[in-house]
Structure 1
Amino acid sequence: MNLEELLAFAGRHPLLSLALAGLTAAILFTEIARLFRGFKGLRPAELTALVNRDNALVVDLRPMADFEKGHIPGSKNVQLSQFDPESKQLAAAKALPVVLVCKTGQTASGAAARLKKAGFERVFVLDGGIYGWQQADLPLSRGRGR
């Protein structure tokens, strides 16, 4: 396909062309915003390595009932409504890597931005959240945890 054919197609299908341009712009915006958000996403295997290597603090932001049904071993449950980067529990972990976990990875992004704003240097979000962890066939602990 050459440029002439592409322009002819765009002329015959203006709505499809407009939709393609809009989707391309949305993807570019999302990727550029990801570069400047101040925290990094982690795959489940990377989270395991970070915990083992650097003693990362894993904070599960899901409701207590969901946490008790299954959570990443060693993670701490902090309700999103009670999430405070200035709390003693979190402030003591400023020198550690902190990984935030929610159901799908979306909610944790807002909390990660708050941690970065509060001066935390090494902030991460588990890509895909607890669902990503489960899809990687990694173990879950049940109950309240520690």
Structure 2
Amino acid sequence: MKFLIENWYLVLTALVSGGLLLWTSMRGKMGGVVVAEAVRLVNREKGVLIDVCETEEYAAGHAGGARNVPLSTLTGTELPARQLPSNKALPVVLMCQTGARAQRAAGILQKQGYANAVAVQGGLKAWREASLPIEKSAA
């Protein structure tokens, strides 16, 4: 006890650094993944890229190779089985225009058993800024 009292600054430093490490690791999980990590998940771990924008937004422009599963269809009792992978262990990389809807979709899918569902931070905007391919659907 005497050591703790005499070296209170060391204890405080250890607590603060541990708290910051915990905070940054939790923030990374909750905030999704950066574009480079999303590309790695799709290319190396057979992840499925899903755009949760509404059909009109998807048609106007989406990440190359992304499937369209609007967020509104995920909130129902039955998930759109055709577009989602049957193997719930595969990474599911979710995207929308800014990343907000994708983050909600990741939470929904995680509750449905997709443990590796993650949102792309910054969404399609960040995808464009990284000069990655954008596709448009025929109207």
Does the pair score TM above 0.5? yes
C-alpha distance after superposition, 1:78-120 (max 9, x if no partner):
1121125744232614121001101111111111111111111
Identity %: 33
Root-mean-square deviation (Å):
2.7
- Aligned residue pairs, count: 115
* Contact persistence 2:93–2:118 (CA under 8 A): yes
Moved over 4 A (4+): 31-34, 36-40
* TM-score, L = length of structure 2: 0.70
Cα shift at 1:139? 1.4
| Residues in 1 aligned to 2:129 and 2:114: alpha-carbon distance in whole angstroms | 29
* TM-score, L = length of structure 1: 0.67
Aligned runs of 1:1-146 on 2, under 5 Å? 32=23, 35=26, 41-83=32-74, 86-89=79-82, 90=84, 92-143=86-137
What code does the residue aligned with 1:88 have? A
Q: 1:39 to 1:115 in 2, by over 3 A?
A: farther
Cα shift at 1:140? 0.5
List gaps (5 residues or longer) in structure 2. 1-18
List gaps (5 residues or longer) in structure 1. 1-27
| Residues in 2 aligned to 1:33 and 1:119: alpha-carbon distance in whole angstroms | 25
Q: 1:76 to 1:143 in 2, by over 3 A?
A: same
